[in-house]
Structure 1
């Protein structure tokens, strides 16, 4: 912590405080997330190691960047420094519009949809190998100073079979297939994003009731009240309804939604492979966290548990179409 100075507390998370900090060398404002590893099970410690490995080795314009991480073995704590999103989160933005009794502009909704999908795309392969829910909620969609989307990834969610233990503000965004058979997939996250889009156009949460059991029943039946067609275009309404199809087989994938004309990516940012176009996303190691230091930290965290599940990073390689070293001598990885 010698490299940083505390500014003020931001929030009190379930696993430890979140603090606004200032990096001494350049005065940049960042966020430090403290995790009390003593509160975690062996399996959760394993998940923490995996998520830190993913975050420390992945850079994406719409994913919160992990800048530094260290552990205190004696105190059994892990400290994660991440970029600060000064414009808050989508939950706060929706509440602001609700208080002002005004509608969120449609063009902004399309922009958020596109940027969230691009962030989800880089996380897709990791999540498919995970037994966690990784539910997407409005509070996990943050905005930087330019109001660009940044997904807050690190979550340590409950196992799929423990979904009923989740708080309402996460549970309400789970898909029918997660609640009925613990099936986690890309389509489950598409459902969550559909719920968020519905909330953006109506300014109300899609599924509400006085018990989780009643909410689960509504989710599984796909029953929801309220209309938004009169305020937004047919194109946007159709996309939202497709994303909220209770049958995951009929729900569009991330790439299918990105292919929509409203979300089409300009030619200079795409590459071609056969008949498919893929968005070019630059991914690289976080320069401020040397890999040697990071490996030591992972080892420290692992030593806090006698039996930490470990997986290789094959999902990173499997996620990419090919590597191109021609741009500024830095590897550029193109996503499938």
Structure 2
């Protein structure tokens, strides 16, 4: 979760009461900091553990929004799924507790916001930057799908940037876990610009391929500067998605390899889309070790020139384990 402005509508401190085996009550206190974001009924703040001084992201879910059983089950599912995940490219689940007013989900704090804020600042990214981020997203997807989990809401705003400039997939509010091979889900959910056509159809059901579709939208958006199916209203966007109506604009030059990968992913028929392993083997990503493992912090604000990125790439591939120390010098 990302850092942002100061919150003022919450009390300054939240308390977690822990019952010990001998009946005593331990109290952990968290200082509330900046408001990170909000969505639906939930709000997210930075919080500081007053004992350890560790800063985390905390999702505040008011209990009055959990009166309906469906809402409670949705939150329980989100917690269960996220708590089970352990991967470098997934936001770390730290802890969950509650008081009389809220349920609090404590998460790893990602200090560099999300790819959504990055694109707002930079407008679009270079191919090397996009390749670097794409590899990390695909690695997270490979892990999720290997554990039978479909994210179902992959988008720039749910791709956080960690303190080492690594991508962290977050927000598992719409995620689901398949119980058996071949199972299809039928819930219509997602974010308009990123939603797969089979979700909109609702009849045939959907599976892991919806995450692959969203990945294609993400790659296109990073390179072009806006989503491929975006229109001024949701209904028109859904129509374009169903018709698979998009194009590559002439004013932005991208490689044939990039176009090839995007086109292979944005297929209306789910079975026509590449698998995760096929994406990793595509020459846009698998191009002879020329993609940097991580990017310097300076790229959050300004586009590096191509020769600079090649230097970073050479450094990252040569030193790997010492990468963060080296990159932080730039």
Give yes or no for TM over 0.5: yes
The question of 1:86 aligning with 2:111 is answered yes
C-alpha displacement of 1:250: 1.0
1: CA distance between counterparts of 2:254 and 2:227?
17
Deviation string 1:22-43 (CA, Å, 9 cap, x unpaired) is 1233323211101124323313
2: CA distance between counterparts of 1:150 and 1:185?
22
Provide the residue aligned with 1:246 in structure 2. 268
Is the 1:33–1:81 Cα contact (8 Å) retained in structure 2?
A: yes
The question of 1:180 aligning with 2:207 is answered no
TM-score, structure 1 as length reference: 0.68
Is the 1:35–1:79 Cα contact (8 Å) retained in structure 2?
A: yes
Is the 1:121–1:254 Cα contact (8 Å) retained in structure 2?
A: yes
1: CA distance between counterparts of 2:250 and 2:103?
44
1: CA distance between counterparts of 2:287 and 2:30?
39
Does 1 or 2 have the higher relative contact order (CA < 8 Å, sep 6+)? 1
C-alpha displacement of 1:142: 0.7
The question of 1:154 aligning with 2:181 is answered no
C-alpha displacement of 1:127: 5.8
2: CA distance between counterparts of 1:21 and 1:34?
11
Is the 1:137–1:192 Cα contact (8 Å) retained in structure 2?
A: yes
C-alpha displacement of 1:78: 1.1
C-alpha displacement of 1:9: 2.0
The 5 Å alignment of 1:155-234 reads: 155-156=173-174, 160-163=186-189, 170-181=191-202, 183-227=205-249, 231-234=253-256
Structure 1 stretches of 4+ with a deviation exceeding 6 A read none
C-alpha displacement of 1:125: 5.4
Which piece of structure 1 moves more, 39-48 or 86-95?
A: 39-48
C-alpha displacement of 1:49: 1.7
The question of 1:106 aligning with 2:127 is answered yes
Provide the residue aligned with 1:119 in structure 2. 140
1:125 to 1:153, Cα distance in 2 relative to 1, 3 A: farther
2: CA distance between counterparts of 1:195 and 1:83?
26
Deviation string 1:69-101 (CA, Å, 9 cap, x unpaired) is 1022x33x2101101111111111111112xxx
Is the 1:186–1:254 Cα contact (8 Å) retained in structure 2?
A: no
Provide the residue aligned with 1:61 in structure 2. 88
1:9 corresponds, among 32, 35, 47, to 35
Is the 1:228–1:237 Cα contact (8 Å) retained in structure 2?
A: no
2: CA distance between counterparts of 1:260 and 1:162?
30
Q: What SS does the aligned partner of 1:172 have?
A: helix
Is the 1:48–1:156 Cα contact (8 Å) retained in structure 2?
A: no
List runs of 5+ in structure 1 lacking aligned partners: 267-336
List runs of 5+ in structure 2 lacking aligned partners: 1-14, 16-27, 177-184, 289-330
Q: What SS does the aligned partner of 2:142 have?
A: helix
Say how many residue pairs are matched. Answer: 253
